[in-house]
Structure 1
């Protein structure tokens, strides 16, 4: 069966039965029935894996695995798309030593909190970017959950979550122009100011944040939801998050443009850092 995960609810520890330990090139892959550990996603590796321990042993990596019943595939080795029927989808804790029996799983809470802050800020800045660029569209475009043209989804190339921040790259090439987006003469300073102002409003609103999931299965389709003053914002997401926007303290962005790529760097302020 799929690994049952508790990290969408913010859980950082637990005990569970080890169902399998397999040798890997860089150690042993320990699979438990349930885990609080967030693994690196092999299809969209935006949020890094959690750190922590299993039975006191350091978790040197935590990755997504899939088994067809005869062989365990790990990370980029997985030959089928995420969630396909007939496969078990697993969290693989990579340790330097094998583990059996009952396992105590403890996530590094401070590191998790830092990544959660970065991930929530990433989603908020994406929505603020959509709003700031709404008047740049010359054709109808798919809308985000707040009713603005979804530039983030149309142009995103890579997204990486970091401790208290994120790094997102958007392509502004021919494909996006054909969809109706006007990328000429972008005023990056003005754009960053609009985004920062919107973020400040949303943080001051102390909006609640949650992750909705139909089941605890690793591959259940989870949704990040934030009850903003404009309405309920939602984005498909398999990561971890803070519980309220006010926990971020402040969020600022910096923008750069090179070779038809717009890069947005997001930084969370000092409030949450001081508590972790």
Structure 2
């Protein structure tokens, strides 16, 4: 297998178009091809934490436009190439190279070194970016609303507030202009000092507090930045915003709006399971 280097990604700076050269081609399922480029604006889904799905778009190769069926994180150790959930190691594992795989269906003869233009659906990207920013803000606002419900010291979030989201999150899915987050309210959370009694008894009141905090933050219209420690796929990236009451910084590999002024409103609903062991937060964002 020829040497493959880490993919340079530009989605983190908001790009929806890029040009790169083919550095690897692998067979996918059902006759599909997985095309690896040295540079791409396409955001891939990460099977290890698939909160934000893949971008939609197309590839243009030698004048032919190919549908982008999926975008996935791939990895190689030099002897094998693995895509998505088949990757046997965690991202960043020593001796492994992690890249972006562009899944397409074509009979065309793709060749190494060929230049490929990547075009991303900007409306869909914007919808997911709004949903992802809203998800972060909602989690921070939920932490604020539950900050007094801990009986023990707990790790803080990116604003220095007790991190309920970090301690209890079970799954997160970014949607177009929204997200769905599920939290575990089990024995392990109780051992870490969280008293869920008020949350279960006053779920609507907690949601109201979250929504009031969100209204204040959205109304500020402050900027959103992505701080990058590099330009490759596995380089650490952080979502940051100088929110009123305390700036926030959250490790994140997704895409986001550039400013809260792009959003007219964010709101949440909270629903506890009948047995009180799960809490579901559904977040909705409205574009300005």
TM-score band by shorter chain is over 0.9
Deviation at 1:231, TM superposition (A): 2.4
Give yes or no for the alignment of 1:215 onto 2:236: no
CA distance in 2, matches of 1:185, 1:240: 34
Give the structure 1 partner of residue 8 of structure 2: 4
**Shift of the alpha carbon at 1:145?**
2.0
Q: How does 1:143-162 map to 2 (within 5 A)?
A: 143-162=156-175
Deviations 1:48-94 (A, max 9, x none): 00000011211011100001112110111111111112111110000
The residue aligned with 1:112 is 125
Matched, 1:240 2:244: no
8 Å CA contact 2:225, 2:241 repeated in 1: yes
- Distance across 2 between alignment mates of 1:207 and 1:85: 38
- Output the TM-score relative to the length of structure 1: 0.96
How many Å separate the matches in 1 of 2:286 and 2:258?
Answer: 16
Q: 2:59 aligns with which of 42, 54, 70?
A: 54
SS at match of 1:254: strand
In structure 1, the gaps of 5 or more residues are: 272-276
After superposition, the C-alpha distances for 1:96-155 in whole angstroms (9 at most, x for unaligned) are 015331101000110000000000000000000000000100111111122210000000
| 1:94 corresponding residue in structure 2 | 103
Structure 2 unmatched runs, 5+ = none
CA separation in 2, counterparts of 1:84 and 1:230?
Answer: 38
Aligned residue number for residue 196 of structure 1: 211
Say yes or no: does 1:43 pair with 2:48. Answer: yes
Question: In structure 1, what is the equivalent of residue 36 of structure 2?
Answer: 31
Measure, in 2, the Cα distance between the counterparts of 1:160 and 1:40: 11
Aligned partner of residue 135 in structure 2, secondary structure: helix
Shift of 1:270: 4.5
Query: How far apart are the structure 1 equivalents of 2:8 and 2:247?
Result: 27
Equivalent positions of 1:217-232 (< 5 A) are 217-232=232-247
Is residue 2:283 matched to residue 1:266? Answer: yes
- Secondary structure (helix, strand or coil) at the match of 1:41 reads coil
* Distance in structure 2 (CA, Å) of the matches to 1:269 and 1:102: 38
Given that 2:262 and 2:287 are in contact with CA atoms closer than 8 Å, whether structure 1 keeps it comes out as: no
The normalised TM-score by structure 2 is 0.92
Superposed structure 1 runs of 4+ greater than 6 Å apart = none
Structure 1 window deviating more from structure 2 (60-69 vs 181-190): it is: 181-190
Query: 1-side partners of 2:23 and 2:157: how far apart?
Result: 41
- Root mean square deviation, CA, Å: 1.0
